[in-house]
A = this chain, B = another copy of it.
Amino acid sequence: MGAKKIGKQTVRLSEGVRIMSAASTVGKKEGEGPLGKYFDKVIEDSMFGEKSWELAESRFIRENMELAVQKAGLKMKDIDYLLCGDLLNQCTASTFGTMDFQIPFFGLYGACSTMGESMSLGAMLIDGGFANHTLVGASSHFCGAEKQFRAPLSLGNQRPPTTSWTVTGDGAVVLAKKGTFPCITEITTGKVMDMGITDANNMGAAMAPAAVDVLANHFKDTGRTPEDYDVIATGDLGDIGRGLVVDLMKKEGFTMGAQFTDCGIEIFDKNTQDTHSGGSGCACSAVTFCAYFYPKLMSGEISRMLFIPTGALLSTTSSQQGQSIPGVAHGVVIEGCGGKEGK
């Protein structure tokens, strides 16, 4: 049959690609949040026994990816390609976290959309016949991100209400050709969208247009509407970004209902956890998908989901030079396996 391009930005995979396993390892704050009980591992120490936050993030990646492979009943040598990325300059968390695996490696930079990007490319490599198994994921670390993008933590800066809280952790999945597992069936790849937002403390607003572009094009490409999905989950728009998407989608002619949520809203309790607009960071959508949505796709509680990790493509240099904050989003359709046993 072969894969098929449908519409402008969407491809339908030839046979679909199975998500054999999903693993999530998070920090203390994430463990204390509403999804706490769903994560595979909660690490209380933000240093994870390492000498720096950056090395701690690498350890989150290493241990969590090993767990994903183990949960799939595979060995590292069974993995044909590894695709992942993070927020640190030159993606060093991923490099140092995965180099012991010794697997052919494609490094990605999609900011907080990375889980969508890695799932998209990892699935296409399998569907295209280049791999039997790919290991894909994304990570972030609150302390490393604050240090790099904002201000030293010890300054104790006050955070505007529009800010989000970078999730600490790693989410990873093993993709495979076959088996009774949740199945990636379609991919809608985002364009870089820039609406001129320059406030680095309002990432939700910066990323909302990218999410809207993927959503609207996905519905146009497939002829579906939001009601055709049990869950539509963006990555880390938070409360403010989600509201903007609802408004903007109305202008596009689509009503986003209660099935539309955002991983950044799910992962923290903003009333008790002081996380303002919600969670963010590459790990936000990655760990929420792996811990919370994947089991529901497995059990049959979710039949069809549209997962759209979202990223803000800024750097401290681009912001200091007065540039806007473009966004990107990567949409992946995942169909549940109807409660059948994984095999």
A87 to B107, CA, bound (A): 13
14 inter-chain pairs at a CB distance below 8 angstroms, sorted by A residue, are A4-B129, A51-B321, A90-B313, A90-B315, A96-B323, A98-B192, A99-B192, A102-B192, A103-B191, A104-B190, A106-B117, A107-B109, A108-B109, A124-B130
Q: How far is the CB of A192 from chain B (nearest CB, A)?
A: 4
Given contacts A85-B109, A130-B3, A192 and B95 within 8 Å (CB-CB) = yes
A16 touches B (CB below 8 Å): no
Q: A residues 138-195 with Cβ under 8 Å of B?
A: 148, 189-194
A216 touches B (CB below 8 Å): no
A282 to B116, CA, bound (A): 25
Which of A98, A99, A111 has the most chain B CB atoms inside 10 A of its CB?
A99
Complex interface: chain B residues within 8 A of A131 (CB): 5
A128 to B125, CA, bound (A): 8
* Oligomer: number of copies: 2
Complex interface: chain B residues within 8 A of A318 (CB): 54, 90, 92, 95-96
A231 touches B (CB below 8 Å): no
A305 touches B (CB below 8 Å): no
Residues of A within 8 A of B (CB): 2-5, 9, 11, 14, 51-52, 54-55, 80-81, 85, 87-92, 95-96, 98-99, 102-111, 117, 120-121, 124-125, 127-132, 148, 189-194, 313-318, 321, 323, 326, 328
Complex interface: chain B residues within 8 A of A9 (CB): 104
Complex interface: chain B residues within 8 A of A323 (CB): 55, 92, 96
Given contacts A92-B318, A313-B95, A328-B107, A189 and B124 within 8 Å (CB-CB) = no
Task: Check A52 against B109 for contact (C-beta < 8 Å).
Answer: no
Task: Check B104 against A107 for contact (C-beta < 8 Å).
Answer: no
A9 to B315, CA, bound (A): 34
- Name the 6 nearest CB pairs between A and B, nearest first: A128-B128, A104-B189, A90-B315, A99-B192, A3-B129, A109-B109
